[in-house]
């Protein structure tokens, strides 16, 4: 019998996960899992629970919540000697990383995927002394996720983020930043910057060129526009990242390590996986290649050829 440590955020998203706890536990029990349930009590409680599970000989961590809950689980796993795989049940308002992993929105379908799926190693970001699953960012809109009230998210979903974002368009401020990566250095005024490993950001932006375990992050930097027409062009370009981007104002590249420094010494506010990430004058972001395994349907998730060959070999044994 396998042992699973089930970490649940009961207030994530529309707080519907509580109504399905019995069904979820029953499905795992029928599949020969012994379940230990832990309901989160604070913002960092999931990290401590995940670290406990890794240290106490469980076989799997099951996380039910939003991107923030998953991110906290990753904090605990990355600080552990024995890193358990994660089965993720998305229950938040946007669930960006679940989209990237190909995990269905339906709760019971996600449970079935965990039971029947396979662990696939994925990259995990290092952000100074902490970690992230899919994004860190600064600048305009990056505070929307954690400043939008949970009640508003529950009622309006993605529209809540969009409405809060529109309110910021009239007060865009740029950050003078030095960006260093792979022997390159850029100094400019940026209104937005992000380092990501995801197919979706805030449920709206779509990233098309990414691989979950290639050791590289996708970086996007947006320079400050000089007039409203340029701002409109930028917004259209950003919302359509599957097509051409405005290279005059948008820089897009890949790297495994990058350093940001605020010129002038003013601390810059960052978001990490949709949550408040702290204020920093300087920070370093690194890619921890294939650091944590997620239970997924490998036919859906875009992974490297090496991982695909490993899975196929595993399946033939």
More confident site: 314 or 88: 88
- What does the pLDDT look like over 269-293, one tens digit per residue? 998 987 889 999 999 999 999 999 9
Cα–Cα distances in angstroms (integers) from residue 80 to residues 56, 71, 254, 314, in the given order: 11, 15, 28, 26
> What kind of architecture, by CATH, is found in domain 2-124+291-316?
3-Layer(aba) Sandwich (3.40)
The structure's pTM equals 0.80
Other Cβ atoms within 10 Å of 166 Cβ, number:
10
The DSSP string of 152-193 is HHHHHTHHHHHHHHHTTGGG---EEEEEEETTEEEEEEEEEE
More confident site: 153 or 114: 114
Q: Collapsing DSSP states into helix, strand and coil, what is residue 103?
A: coil
pLDDT greater than 80 at residue 19: yes
The alpha carbon torsion through 43, 44, 50, 55 (nearest 10 deg) reads -160
Phi-psi region of 183 (alpha: psi -120 to 50; beta: other; left: phi over 0): left
> What pLDDT score does 46 carry?
96
Contact predicate 201/208, CB 8 Å: no
More confident site: 203 or 109: 109
Other Cβ atoms within 10 Å of 231 Cβ, number:
16
- What is the CATH number that goes with domain 132-288? 2.60.200.40
Contact predicate 46/88, CB 8 Å: no
Contact predicate 198/135, CB 8 Å: yes
| Closest C-alpha to 140, from 176, 165, 177 | 165
Mean pLDDT of the chain: 81
> What pLDDT score does 231 carry?
67
Contact predicate 8/65, CB 8 Å: yes
The domains of the chain are located at 2-124+291-316, 132-288
d(CA 100, CA 199): 5
* Banded model confidence at residue 150, pLDDT cuts 50, 70, 90: very low
CA-based torsion, 143, 151, 153, 114: positive or negative: positive
Percent of all residues in the chain with a pLDDT value above 70, rounded to a whole number: 74
d(CA 86, CA 75): 12
Cα–Cα distances in angstroms (integers) from residue 179 to residues 76, 131, 176, 257, in the given order: 29, 20, 10, 11
> What pLDDT score does 244 carry?
58
Burial label, 197 (beta-carbon count in 10 A; 0-12, 13-18, 19+): buried
More confident site: 67 or 80: 80
d(CA 68, CA 97): 10
Average pLDDT estimate for 160-188 = 73
> What pLDDT score does 206 carry?
45
More confident site: 9 or 220: 9
> What pLDDT score does 25 carry?
97
| Closest C-alpha to 23, from 122, 110, 152, 153 | 110
Q: Collapsing DSSP states into helix, strand and coil, what is residue 69?
A: helix
Where are the extended beta strands (E) located within 40-183? 60-65, 86-90, 118-127, 130-132, 135-139, 175-181
């Amino acid at each position: 019998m396998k042992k699973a440590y089930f970490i649940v955020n009961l207030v994530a998203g529309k707080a519907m996960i509580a109504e399905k706890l019995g069904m979820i536990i029953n499905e795992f029990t029928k599949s020969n899992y012994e379940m230990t349930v832990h309901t989160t009590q604070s913002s960092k409680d999931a990290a401590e629970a995940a670290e406990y599970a890794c240290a106490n000989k469980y076989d799997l961590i099951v996380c039910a919540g939003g991107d923030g809950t998953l991110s906290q689980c990753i904090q605990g796993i990355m600080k552990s000697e024995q890193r358990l795989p994660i089965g993720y049940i998305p229950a938040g308002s946007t669930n960006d990383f679940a989209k990237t992993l190909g995990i269905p929105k339906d709760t019971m379908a996600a449970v079935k995927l965990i039971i029947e799926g396979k662990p696939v190693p994925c990259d995990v970001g290092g952000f100074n002394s902490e970690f992230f699953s899919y994004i860190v960012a600064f600048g305009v809109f990056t505070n929307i996720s954690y400043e939008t009230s949970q009640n508003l998210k529950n009622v309006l979903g993605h529209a809540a983020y969009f409405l809060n974002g529109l309110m910021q368009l009239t007060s865009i401020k740029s950050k003078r930043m030095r960006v260093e990566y792979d022997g390159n250095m850029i100094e400019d005024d940026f209104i937005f910057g992000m380092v990501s490993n995801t197919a979706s950001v805030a449920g709206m932006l779509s990233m098309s060129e990414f691989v979950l375990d290639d050791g590289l992050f996708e970086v996007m930097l947006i320079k400050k526009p000089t007039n409203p027409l340029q701002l409109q062009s930028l917004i259209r370009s950003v919302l359509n990242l599957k097509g051409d981007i405005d290279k005059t104002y948008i820089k897009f590249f890949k790297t495994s390590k990058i350093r940001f420094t605020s010129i002038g010494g003013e601390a810059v506010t960052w978001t990490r996986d949709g949550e408040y990430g702290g204020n920093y004058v300087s920070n370093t972001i690194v890619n921890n290649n294939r650091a944590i395994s997620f239970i997924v349907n490998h036919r859906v998730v875009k992974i490297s050829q090496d991982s695909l060959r490993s899975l196929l070999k595993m399946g033939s044994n």
